[in-house]
Structure 1
Amino acid sequence: MNRPDLVLLHGWGLGPQVWSALTPYLPAGLRVHTPPLPGHGGTPAHSPTLEAWSDALLPELPDRAVVCGWSLGGLVALDLARRYPHKVARLVLIGTSPCFVTRADSAGSPWPHGLAAATVAGFIDNFAHDPAATLRRFVALQALGDARRRTVSNALNAALVNSEKCDRDMLATGLELLADTDWRAALDDVRQPVQLIHGAGDALMPVAAAEWLATRLPDARLARFDDCGHAPFLSRPEDCAVLIEGVVRG
């Protein structure tokens, strides 16, 4: 009998090591894949688009996998599920929002469940001048609102990419993808079952974004952790592993 495949896609500025707290709790028998995103030690994308980032990961993806994406990795997972449904049987989205920045869509519908555009523009500008400090600030925001803030901060800092050794241009592109991507109009194309996992104290991607996703994706359910911030899989890895196991078993 074939073992099920689980693909874990990390967030911006961090490497696959960020999953090390979660993987010991995952069920035995899984084939776990933790490819790095472009610019984070992985294969560079050919163009600075979310689609290019997804395409760069295709060689790492087995068919019919459960794909779990966190933060920016969640946006990549959504794109893979929409364009390559034979690769993605089910989705787990952790700390994921369809739109990172407050804005109106092309029809004028407001999106209040994000960071202010000026704040994100500041991150992009600061990264260009001092990437290491910007990465540390981003990590600090991810730990806010978590009852285990020190544990989460330590794990995130241990998984930070080395801004001197990675592709700075591609890392900058990752921030721009977060700023520019608006997935609200494309959600009907995601037909796979989706397990959403979100911390109620998430300071980067408010839990209201996940609540909205749960109502708009065709087949989704939401697990909300009231004592967590942006990285519940670090704060409560055992509980997240139980949810992921439920998705794998279908």
Structure 2
Amino acid sequence: MVEKIPLLLLPGTLCDDRLWQFQIQGLEDEVNITVGELSKHDSIEALADEILSKMPDKFAVAGLSFGGMVALEIVRKAPERVLKLALLDTNPFPPKEEQISNWNSFLDMIQTQRFGEIVKDYLLPVLIHPDKQSNDELVETIFKMADTMGEEGYINQLRALKKRVDQTTVLPFITCPTLVIVGRQDIVCPIELSKYMADTIPNASLKIVEDSGHLTTMEQPEVVYELLKEWITKPKVEF
């Protein structure tokens, strides 16, 4: 029997395994899937350390947005352990002052019991394609993931985002097969960021998902599933 590749899936902020639900259902016969929990620490470095302590010696990793940042930190800390890498809708650059200001505002809103307002009025409008805003099932799942994460988890993630370092320095040294995926209409992590990563990482491939915003795995689940399936199964790797 051929041993299955361990695959680590890392969600974005305020997301959990439901972000990857369609891909998990399609890939679970091909690989051994673990979904990382990214809300217990307030630094990307600490999150990467905890994940590395729990994963097998070698594994593949796919991360979306915040999860992609943690994936890059995992590669930086333990490149020899990462068999394959997929970065979805990810920003490798350090935060801008405007972003930090926005996150500080969100932290203030949480302190005044306005957590739900952040998701509804500030995040949802930019997370998904305008055509998907009326998809009640998709929107409800986004709200449910945020509710499950809760205020404490989001505070940790915001603090981690604020102090994240420049991860572009690791890109030229990534040697494992790398897939970069981005939604054509991603506002949160614009397409130029993914193009930069694909150009900088040796032998990386870029796939642009049409009619999708930031949450590509949920907005175009079939397309992303097919991309990830090809990435994780071809070519075969020894581990």
Q: Is the TM value for this pair above 0.5?
A: yes
1:38 counterpart SS class? coil
Q: Given the superposition, is the C-alpha separation of residues 68 and 88 from structure 1 closer, same or farther in structure 2, using an over 3 Å criterion?
A: same
- Matched residues, number: 229
Which residue in the other structure is 1:62 paired with?
56
Amino acid at match of 1:35: G
Structure 1 position 160 matched with structure 2 position 160:
no
Q: Tell me the distance in 1 between the aligned counterparts of 2:27 and 2:37.
A: 19
Q: Tell me the distance in 1 between the aligned counterparts of 2:31 and 2:115.
A: 36
Query: TM-score scaled by structure 2?
Result: 0.84
Contact 2:127–2:214, Cα closer than 8 Å, also in 1: yes
Q: Tell me the distance in 1 between the aligned counterparts of 2:173 and 2:106.
A: 31
Q: Given the superposition, is the C-alpha separation of residues 157 and 135 from structure 1 closer, same or farther in structure 2, using an over 3 Å criterion?
A: same
2:79 counterpart SS class? coil
Q: Given the superposition, is the C-alpha separation of residues 179 and 99 from structure 1 closer, same or farther in structure 2, using an over 3 Å criterion?
A: farther
2:148 counterpart SS class? coil
Q: Given the superposition, is the C-alpha separation of residues 237 and 100 from structure 1 closer, same or farther in structure 2, using an over 3 Å criterion?
A: farther
Contact 1:69–1:92, Cα closer than 8 Å, also in 2: yes
Contact 2:15–2:149, Cα closer than 8 Å, also in 1: no
Amino acid at match of 1:51: E
C-alpha distance after superposition, 1:140-181 (max 9, x if no partner): 0453325433253233223224365x7x1x532311322332
Q: Given the superposition, is the C-alpha separation of residues 240 and 144 from structure 1 closer, same or farther in structure 2, using an over 3 Å criterion?
A: closer
Which residue in the other structure is 2:83 paired with?
89
Q: Given the superposition, is the C-alpha separation of residues 206 and 158 from structure 1 closer, same or farther in structure 2, using an over 3 Å criterion?
A: same
- RMSD value over aligned CA atoms? 2.4
Contact 1:201–1:228, Cα closer than 8 Å, also in 2: yes
Q: Tell me the distance in 1 between the aligned counterparts of 2:223 and 2:210.
A: 13
Contact 2:69–2:90, Cα closer than 8 Å, also in 1: yes
Equivalent of 2:214, from 230, 240, 245?
230
Q: Tell me the distance in 2 between the aligned counterparts of 1:218 and 1:61.
A: 25
- Aligned residues with identical type, % of pairs: 21
Contact 1:139–1:153, Cα closer than 8 Å, also in 2: no
Moved more, 207-216 or 53-62: 53-62
Which residue in the other structure is 2:38 paired with?
37
| C-alpha displacement of 1:197 | 0.9
Amino acid at match of 1:13: L
Which residue in the other structure is 2:200 paired with?
216
Q: Given the superposition, is the C-alpha separation of residues 17 and 163 from structure 1 closer, same or farther in structure 2, using an over 3 Å criterion?
A: closer
Which residue in the other structure is 2:224 paired with?
240
Contact 1:26–1:242, Cα closer than 8 Å, also in 2: no
Q: Given the superposition, is the C-alpha separation of residues 136 and 55 from structure 1 closer, same or farther in structure 2, using an over 3 Å criterion?
A: farther
Relative to total residues, which structure has the larger helix share, 1 or 2? 2
Structure 1 position 24 matched with structure 2 position 25:
yes
C-alpha distance after superposition, 1:83-106 (max 9, x if no partner): 112331111111111126346xxx
Amino acid at match of 2:5: P
| C-alpha displacement of 1:122 | 2.5
Superposition map of 1:44-123 within 5 A: 45=41, 48-99=42-93, 101-102=95-96, 116-123=99-106
Uncovered stretches (5+) of structure 2, i.e. residues with no partner: none
C-alpha distance after superposition, 1:204-225 (max 9, x if no partner): 1111111111111223111111
